[in-house]
Amino acid sequence: MPVRTGNQVEPVGLRELFCRAHQIHDLALPHAPATAGLLRVLVAILARLTGLDQPGTSVQEWNQRRTDLLNTRGGLDPAGIDAYFDRYTWDAFDAERPWMQDASLADQCRAPSGINALIMGRPSGHNLCWFEPDTDTDPASAPTDQALWHLLINHYYGNPGRQTLRTAGGTASGQGSAGPLRGTLSFHPLGRTLLETLALGLPPLTDDENTVADACPWEEPAVPDPLAPLPPVTWPGRLLTGRSRHAVLLVPGADGTTVTDAYLTWATQQPRLEATDPYLAYRTDPKAPVETRRVPRMAETGRSVWRDLDALLLAGEENSASPRPTAFTTLNDLPADVRDALRVRVMGFDQDVGLVKNRLWYSALTPPIWNWAQEHDPDTARRIRDCCTIAEQLGHLLGKVAGRAWKEITSPPAAARPHKPGAKDPAWSARARAAYWPQAEATFWRLIHDTPDTPVRPVFAADAVRALRTVSTASLSQHARAGEILAAAIATLLRDPATPRTSRRPHKAPA
């Protein structure tokens, strides 16, 4: 794995990474979903190395031991690191227990899936070749380190649907389900060193009592039976590393420096178990059906990080419909120097959850924001909540108003027809939102830093009006009713919904 120390980037193995975690500044993987997956693996290992995975520990003792870890300057115990890593197999090409893989796929699958099926972004099967010249008739091998990045991506964000046929026991199937993080937005605390980052990211202690011992995939005594019932989602190993829906096996090149082929298929046919990932922000809608009442925030390539800051900074009682990711619920008693430097890394993979459609992955980094948390600065936290809420309301209203105005101007008879769910937005809707959100971001930071007492809604409303005028300028000289329709649309954007509307009824003359 590539890591960064100062301005230098170098590859290290897992053992060396933990021996130098107090000196390494950060991971340097180029793929956001691989980083999100690897961080979960590393946090689970850190919990093992530090003893912070013991469920019998009291909350006070757990917090104190984590604080002591954050205050340490000498790093982790090298003897403890060696003892842990000597206990398990970490070879990606081991004949019996290759790391995070299932060696039985070579016998249970008739043929490999192809290296292109493993590497996200490559065309495979009958898919068209858009961005890379690789095809299934002429596949290019992948360097082993890059193949391991995509191994992690498939475990956490893997595609649903048709996969390589696997026969296990009496079950033969080529259908699989989506990875546990597919399409989601992942929030991770970022410290000044890698050790600090991993310690900050430790999921909080849980009181769940399980009869099954917690284990990561490489700690299991044997590869799990794909037909057996799933073990409970125990804390923290299975929660962070053991919920994959995919089984993978890499085929190495002659010298082990490349991967020439891969098996990629389903790991289980059992229904997925309910679990709360500690790095996802969940929304709760009490009016929705039970199965969709609580859903994580999904990745959107056009969505800036500031629009989700309210999910991080507000305490649970202030934001019960969208509480913080649970990894952030234990960060309020940090040492002052750690809290002052704490930033948040946001990583998303914009995907269709039920379809094999992967659009774009991305990452972003906030400034140090934890001093704005409600427990430390409640006024700023509520100000951020108000700005995020009102900006979202006006962004949604702008899309509706712009689309309706465009239909009324260009095709009056069609304007009365309702907009069908799932139908493509009218031309002005997307263009108006694209013009609005960059302006709204600048407005957001200005309202937080420079003008903390300015009323929020009029300023974002002015941004929405400016965006609507930007996309409609050409129509004013081309359509007779454009001015009248746009004036009504602007009035709708400027109207404060908190102000009651007065209805004017025509005066009736006495009989």
Instruction: Indicate if 366 and 383 belong to the same structural domain.
Output: no
Q: Are residues 292 and 262 in the same domain?
A: no
* pLDDT value for 336: 87
Q: Are residues 294 and 246 part of one domain?
A: no
77 and 99 in a common domain: yes
Please give the Cα distance from 437 to 421 (Å, whole number). 23
The domain boundary, picked from 235, 266, 297, lies at: 266
- Claim to verify: residue 230 and residue 85 sit in the same structural domain: yes
What total number of domains does the chain contain?
3
Listing DSSP states for 306-368 in one string gives GGGTHHHHS-GGGSTTSPPPGGGTT-TT--HHHHHH-EEEEEEEEE-SSSS-EEEEEEEE--S
At residue 7, φ and ψ (nearest 5 deg) are: -100, 5
Looking at residue 317, its pLDDT comes to 54
User: Do residue 36 and residue 115 come from a single domain?
Assistant: yes
Q: Residue 47 in contact with residue 53, Cβ under 8 Å?
A: yes
Same domain, 174 and 307: no
One domain for residues 41 and 115: yes
Low-confidence ranges of the chain (pLDDT < 70): 123-137, 207-211, 291, 316-321, 412-426, 476-478, 498-511
Q: Is residue 483 part of a domain?
A: yes
Determine if the peptide bond prior to 55 is cis (ω within 30°). Answer: no
SS3 303: coil
Same domain, 345 and 457: no
CA 145, 148, 151: angle at the middle one, nearest 5? 160
Residue 177 lies in a domain: yes
Q: Reduced to 3 states, what is the DSSP secondary structure of residue 22?
A: coil
Which segments within 152-308 are labelled E, that is strand?
161-168, 171-176, 185-190, 246-252, 258-266, 282-284, 294-296
d(CA 52, CA 66): 8
Q: Give CA separation, 408 vs 330, 392, 422, 475, in Å.
A: 52, 25, 20, 12
In a domain, 277, yes or no: no
Residue 271 located in a structural domain: no
Indicate whether 146 and 292 sit together in one domain.
Answer: no
> From residue 159, how far is each of 127, 162, 357 by CA, in Å?
14, 9, 8
Query: Given 3-state DSSP classes, what are the helix, strand and coil percentages for the chain, each rounded to the nearest 5?
Result: 40, 15, 45
SS3 call for 282: strand
Q: Supply the pLDDT for residue 312.
A: 87
Residue 504 lies inside a defined structural domain of this protein: no
| 467 assigned to some structural domain | yes
Q: Taking the model in full, what pTM does it have?
A: 0.88
Degrees, nearest 5: CA angle 252-255-261: 20
Contact predicate 214/235, CB 8 Å: yes
pLDDT of amino acid 73: 85
- Which residue segment(s) compose the domain that 481 sits in? 379-494
pLDDT of residue 511: 42
Q: What is the CATH number of the domain that holds 433?
A: 1.10.132
Residue 107 belongs to a domain: yes
